[in-house]
Amino acid sequence: MPLDIRFCIFQMEYMAEEAAVVDLSPLALSILELLNERPMHPYELAATMRARHHDEFIRLNFGSLYHTVEVLERNGWVVSAEREKEGKRPERTVYDLTDAGRRVLLQAVGDIVSQPRREYLHFSAGLMFMHHLEKKAAVARLEQRSQALHQTITKLSRILSELLDGGHTRLTLIELEHKIAILEAERAWVDRIAREITDGKLEWRAGVDAGADEKLRRRHVTGAH
């Protein structure tokens, strides 16, 4: 096969590999990140994720963990390095990160940090249809959410403080700091909306204001001339 054709095929394969990065789940990224530190078996991966509180950001269970490891191995991003035997326990497969896996990890992290992605949040859907609730009921629900957010912020702040006191650097825990900041901002906004509903500043009527269609029609006619 001519060299230029082989080079084109290599480029296409490499681009396809990099394009797959977009679909990596947070769990897959966590696995790749930990294997970038050292080879581990799945049980050790799960234990380390929990010790570092990765499970605050990813949905972690052994079924999804093993499945994700298998997918990463099929893609050539991790490889079984050895089998580990401890006493009467079953053998455990120890996995290591490949060079391709390291490239995927770096590319994925760079893309996530630099490019906002559309996320479909349950809270946003609730806000879209909140007007179906009575005003008092909506305020009560928002106050419940604010209290729940306060409890989560308190828990995460305690965890952050303990980890920092334990010698972890701030950069190691930056995602935890970010989550606390987001939750604090959401709580402040929720409290403000609840007050505006109570004070009557937020009109409790969904839809288009009366006369808006006529204003839009006039603006369109004026613009056409």
In which band, very low, low, confident or very high, does the pLDDT at 202 lie, cut at 50, 70 and 90?
Answer: very high
* Contact call for residues 26 and 57 (beta carbons, < 8 A): yes
Range of the domain at 84: 3-114
Residue 220, class by beta-carbon neighbours within 10 Å (0-12 exposed, 13-18 middle, 19+ buried)? exposed
Residue 182 maps to a domain: yes
Structural domain count, the chain: 2
Note whether 106 and 30 are same-domain residues.
yes
Residue 212 maps to a domain: no
pLDDT at 156 over 90: yes
In which band, very low, low, confident or very high, does the pLDDT at 211 lie, cut at 50, 70 and 90?
Answer: low
Percentage of the chain surpassing pLDDT 70?
79
Note whether 152 and 73 are same-domain residues.
no
Q: For 169-192, what is each residue's pLDDT tens digit? A: 999 899 999 999 999 999 999 999
Note whether 145 and 189 are same-domain residues.
yes
**Residue scoring higher pLDDT (205 or 9):** 205
* Contact call for residues 193 and 142 (beta carbons, < 8 A): yes
Residue 222 maps to a domain: no
Note whether 60 and 32 are same-domain residues.
yes
Mean pLDDT value across residues 43-52: 93
Mean pLDDT value across residues 21-41: 89
In which band, very low, low, confident or very high, does the pLDDT at 16 lie, cut at 50, 70 and 90?
Answer: very low
Note whether 100 and 142 are same-domain residues.
no
Distances (CA, A) of 41 to 89, 91, 95, 123: 13, 10, 6, 37
pLDDT at 217 over 70: no
Burial letters for 151-173: b for 16+ Cβ neighbours within 10 Å, e otherwise? eebeebeeebeebeeeeeeeeeb
Instruction: Quote the CA–CA distance of 63 and 53 in Å, as a whole number.
Output: 19
Note whether 159 and 102 are same-domain residues.
no
Amino acid at 118: R
Which residue from 117, 116, 99, 81 is spatially nearest to 32, judged by alpha carbons? 99
**Residue scoring higher pLDDT (119 or 67):** 67
Note whether 64 and 102 are same-domain residues.
yes
Note whether 108 and 150 are same-domain residues.
no
In which band, very low, low, confident or very high, does the pLDDT at 2 lie, cut at 50, 70 and 90?
Answer: low
Residue 221 maps to a domain: no
Note whether 33 and 89 are same-domain residues.
yes
Note whether 74 and 154 are same-domain residues.
no
